[in-house]
Chain A
Amino acid sequence: MKNLEESIFLEPATLAEALRFQADEATRGLPLAGGTDLMVQWEAGVRMAPSRVLNLKGLAELHGLSVAGGSLVIGAGVTHAMLRRSPLVRQHAPSLAEAAATVGGAQIQALGTIGGSIGNASPAGDLAPSLLVAHADVEVASVRGARRLALSKFLVGYRKLDLAPDELILRFHVPVLPAGASETWRKLGPRAAQAISKVMGSYRGRVENGHIADFAVALGSVAPTAIRLPQTEAWLRGRALNADTLDGAEQRASAEVTPIADIRSTAEYRRWVSGRLVRGFLEHLASL
């Protein structure tokens, strides 16, 4: 068993230096931001500490939070606490702020980052659904150059990302909430704080003349990654926002998810709650 004390901590001063470390397999380290998941796993022996850790904490390049070109640009190093408090996030991606506010406890929020949450590639990561419904892009880079891709393409599978070993997550581009649209985030867990969700999700949608003009919904903990529900979304588009639509959407959403049973819940219950969450989102949309 490897002890963390024996790990080498790489402390790059700049992003460029960090990318150079990652470029070569011989110097590459496991990226560490807030450490709220990795540190716990190493300490508990669930996962072995790696021989090299790349500490991203000090990199100023990863800390920006601004609006540019119709999108919120959120550095990978932005913490949950910053997301929760930021007036920009609350205005332009309120469901992301809501999600960030319920992750872990105060200490976890103060340390854990958006880059770490997404980079961890857990289906139970609380931030992914809000980014997915906003059609967010992720920007990654290596010494070979930077690239930008849709988050939905980036989340490949259970604990799997479209990220090369030499690449680091730089930032997220989150299209701002359009005028007239609304969104929210909801979670069902065993208790208020520091609990992994049984099911959670977000939507972003807009109604025009009583009909659904846009509707994007994403759920976590119901499939190998956080997922959008394209079939349900397509069925909803253009429909009148009435009781039949709510019933239909609930049925379709329940059928569209592929949850598993684990120690937190059964698949059957997750499937049901998924439908109910989507119904709740539509009710939220209708109430505005």
Chain B
Amino acid sequence: MSRNFQVVNKSVRKIDALALALGKPMYAGDKVPPGALHIKFLWSPHAHAVIKSIDIRAAEQLPGVRCVLYHGNVPRIPHTTAGQGYPEPSPYDTFMFDTKVRFVGDRVAAVAADTPEIAAAAVAAIQVEYEVLSAVLSIDDAMKDGAPVIHDEPDAFAKIPVQYEPGKNLAAFVGMDVGNLDEGLAGADVVVDESYYAHYAQHCPIEPHVAFGYMDPEGRLVIVTSTQVPFHVRRIVAQCIEMPIRQIRVIKPRIGGGFGVKQEVLMEDVVAMMTVRTQKPCLLTFTREEEFVSSRTRHPIRTRIRLGAKKDGTFTAYGMDCLSNTGAYGSHALTVVCNCGSKMLPLYRAKNIHFTGTAVYTNLPVGGAYRGYGATQSSFAVESAMDELAEKLGVDPLALRQQNHIVSGETSPVFRALGEGKAGVEQSIGSCELAKCITLGAKEIGWKKRGDWRKKTGRMRRGIGMACLMQGSSIPEIDMGAASIKMNEDGSFNLLMGATDLGTGSDTVLAQIGAEALGCDVSKIIVYSSDTDMTPFDVGAYASSTTYLSGAAVKNCAEKVVKQILAVAGQMLGRKPSELAHGDSVVRAKDGSGQVTYSEIALHSLYNAEQHQIGAMSSHITHKSPPPFSAHFVEVEIDTETGALKLLKYVAAVDCGTAINPKLAEGQTEGGVMNGISYALTEEYLFSATGRMTNASFQDYKLFSMRDKPEIKTILVPSYEKTGPYGAKSVSEICINGALPAIANAIYNAVGVRLREGPFTAEKIWRGLRAMGAKA
């Protein structure tokens, strides 16, 4: 679809790139006021225990210690740390400090002191007596009869009417049926019934959680924090420390990566409480170990897939049952498991569809939002099962997908049935170029050379695998974004947004959308995001919403401003607005009789006649969550002697609607692909028998590095989503979902080993080879 864009769909340089590259002080940690106190936590050494007694006197008496917080001296207010729309679908099962600890790394107490060393010494001086309880260390044990109850406190509750049974360690349950799965399976010629396990992982942002607070001269609390959700921080902190929202200001500076882990109000409550109690600036920075153990993780989920098909490849049944480990708290428990179904079930047509999502509490690290948000876990299962089904049917797995995937104009009953903690919103697909993604990706990887694994010989064997993917763009009728714009004398514009650029480049993307609508160069847009005192509300950067949702808010706002610009220009030129055209920072009479520049218009409106501020504020909600689509392809080489796997090439073809900034869209895709590869091949949490993570450092938890990067080819396949700003959909999450299934399928294609649990280490492949008796 050819559109005549001036600013969007162009790879404008990231507006903050130079300052970031020069190391200018832009992050929370760069802005800490002098003399700030340092906060350190005392973390639980036990997976499950009651705090019998706690003695903070020795800690308090250390010189330089300013404040010690624990359950005995803070309010007990049930809340959730999940930064979600209010009222949140996550249970209110968390307290600033509690009389019970629920995982190794849970909060026991916190200290603010003059130096980090004193704070550490004070933490060590706190005396705690625990009554150790038996712990739940696996999802299979959580709901057994007689399992220890993790949330036995009487005051935990669900804020909205959802299934929540803490007495059974059930953090969330959701289910839906269309037709009858059993009948569908009975009517199938071929059935696949397998379970797949997507494991623990952490987001590993280069910048850990950093937040500091200070009291402003008027006695208001200011929190500067590396968050994706400044407005949720303000609301939840107000709730936790019992302070009116008007007394709190939250500022989000640049963020050094979030990936969902900063969609969490993880430590701002303690920063706020310490700042209020001491009336001094207080800083909290997580160590890498704390980031691994005590922040948030990807919910590990075991997904059972049941697929039934006729010999001709038509699906008769499509069932998905997800069992999610939310860890010790229910942050995002319901919504992540909902997304397992709502993002991957509509991808394929089937008469009989079944879904259940169960999230259980365990005494292990806490799940949270993580790029992909359930779709990562379920796409591993679905796309592996698709290949297993194709194998049983004896057809090309590519052809099976081409035959069954959803296309433009179609709908799925799942959209309506599954929402985020409530019913979903019906929608039909307005834009889908998945077919083209598959064709182009297959060509790029060389799908034709992919042979049957049984015919491969030699020590080194190559395989090709693929996966089809679907995500969403914002949460319909829940998420809201807003922006305001005002015009300055030189024809520039201040664009103020609640949306949070977490390193994705969204400030640039949204500035491009504003500039396109305003008819000016992107350099004329001065972006400020986000500050709860200054910028309008936005739910924040999550659910693949910023470009699609906040971008539409910016576009709406800019269009309002253009109307005002045309009105003033009309007065200046003696023309009706309808006789005028705008662009290149100029308003021209369409008949060529005259023109005024934006600067002249601004000066006129501010100083000369009928003076007023040209400016507007707009907000936006959506009634759809148009999915981006993607097809990922990967070629691997396996050393059959050691199981060692080498990635040769990775292709990601993605339909994200109009790429507002193609280079940034490619950057998101490549980053997400590397993120996914790392998850698939090397990242994993290892635990001791008592539930302690044993590899909580970059020395032992391995991320894929640039030296491991295979050739990655991104193919942007444009479509035009009518409901999105200039045809845009989302791009940032979908790209992480392909690596697990595509690599699993490629391993199978290379050597015939089917791995249903990540990460795909050399040793797992080797064990698979040995189990088959295949010897080089």
Contact = CB atoms under 8 A, between A and B. Distances in A.
Given A188-B762, A263-B686, A263-B695, A193 B707 contact: yes
Given A263-B700, A276-B642, A192 B705 contact: yes
B277 interface: no
A272 B641 CA distance: 9
A269 B699 contact: no
A192 B120 CA distance: 36
A191 B766 contact: no
Interface in B695-709: 695, 697, 699-700, 702, 704-705, 707-708
B702 A191 contact: yes
Contacts of A44: 697
B682 A194 contact: no
Contacts of B686: 263
Nearest to A275: B641
Contacts of B707: 105, 191-193
Interface in B92-126: 117, 120
Contacts of A266: 763
Contacts of A191: 681-682, 702, 704-705, 707-708
Interface in B477-509: none
Interface in B607-662: 641-642, 644
A7 interface: no
Given A191-B682, A263-B686, A273 B642 contact: yes
Interface in B719-776: 761-763, 766-767
Contacts of A196: 699
A188 B642 contact: yes
B682 A190 contact: yes
B292 to A, nearest CB: 13
B697 to A, nearest CB: 7
Contacts, number: 48
B694 interface: yes
A273 B705 CA distance: 24
Sort chain A's interface into a size bin.
20 to 34
Nearest to B761: A190
A286 interface: no
A86 interface: no
A193 B703 CA distance: 10
Given A191-B704, A192-B707, A272 B766 contact: yes
B688 to A, nearest CB: 10
A72 B120 CA distance: 49
Interface of A is mostly: loop
Nearest to B695: A263
Contacts of A105: 705, 707
A228 interface: no
B700 A279 contact: no
Given A3-B117, A193-B707, A279 B641 contact: yes
Contacts of B762: 188, 190, 198
B702 A190 contact: yes
Q: Which of B642, B695, B762 has the most CB of A within 10 A?
A: B642
Nearest to B709: A192
Interface in A72-99: none
A120 interface: no
A263 B682 CA distance: 12
A280 B641 contact: yes
Interface string A157-196: 0000000000000000000000000000000101111111
B702 A276 contact: no
A170 B708 CA distance: 36
A196 B699 CA distance: 8
A251 interface: no
A188 B642 CA distance: 8
A71 interface: no
A123 to B, nearest CB: 16
Interface in A18-69: 40, 44
Contacts of A280: 641
A256 B169 CA distance: 49
A94 B417 CA distance: 65
A245 interface: no
A221 to B, nearest CB: 14
B702 A269 contact: no
B763 A263 contact: no
Contacts of A3: 117
Contacts of B708: 191-193
Contacts of B704: 191
Interface in A244-268: 263-266
Nearest to A45: B120
27 contacts: A1-B117, A1-B120, A3-B117, A40-B699, A44-B697, A188-B642, A190-B682, A190-B702, A190-B761, A191-B704, A191-B707, A192-B708, A193-B705, A193-B707, A193-B708, A194-B705, A195-B702, A196-B699, A263-B695, A264-B700, A265-B763, A266-B763, A269-B763, A269-B766, A272-B766, A273-B642, A276-B641
The 9 closest A-B pairs by CB, nearest first: A193-B707, A192-B707, A192-B708, A269-B763, A276-B641, A191-B708, A190-B702, A190-B682, A193-B705
